[in-house]
Amino acid sequence: MRYSLLAAAGIVSVALAGCGGGATVNTRNDMEVSKAAYQFCLAQHPQAPQTCDSAKASYDAGLKAYRDTSVGALGRGE
């Protein structure tokens, strides 16, 4: 009985340790997509980078969200 309780607690701990990992992956993917869009825009408008201000803002927001999520997942920054 005691071993089954410890085993169940271990399984729950492992399952909960994975929580938040998906959020990090999602924010990373979102950041990478916005980065690619920004780089594409800059390549299309090399003489007028201000044209890409909205793409840059999206990338900056995605990068901040990724960093915030990564710091929270790793337990740093406190």
Q: Output 12 or 69, whichever has higher pLDDT.
A: 69
pLDDT tens for 16-28 read 444 555 677 888 9
pLDDT of residue 21: 59
pLDDT tens for 26-74 read 889 999 999 999 999 999 999 999 999 999 999 999 999 999 887 755 5
Contact 24, 67 (CB under 8 A): no
Per DSSP, the residues of 26-59 read HHHHHHHHHHHHHHHHHHH-TT-GGGGHHHHHHH
What is d(CA 54, CA 42) in angstroms, rounded to the nearest whole number?
12
